[in-house]
Amino acid sequence: MVTLDHYTLGYVTFGLMTLSMLSGAFIFLSKKRQLWIKIHVLISILAYLFMVWTIWVVR
Q: Domains of the chain: which residue ranges?
A: 6-58
CA distances from 50 to 2, 6, 27, 33, 38 (A): 16, 10, 23, 25, 19
Over residues 8-58, the pLDDT tens digits come to 888 999 999 999 999 999 999 999 999 999 999 999 999 999 999 888 888
pLDDT at residue number 7:
85
Give the predicted TM-score (pTM) of the model: 0.84
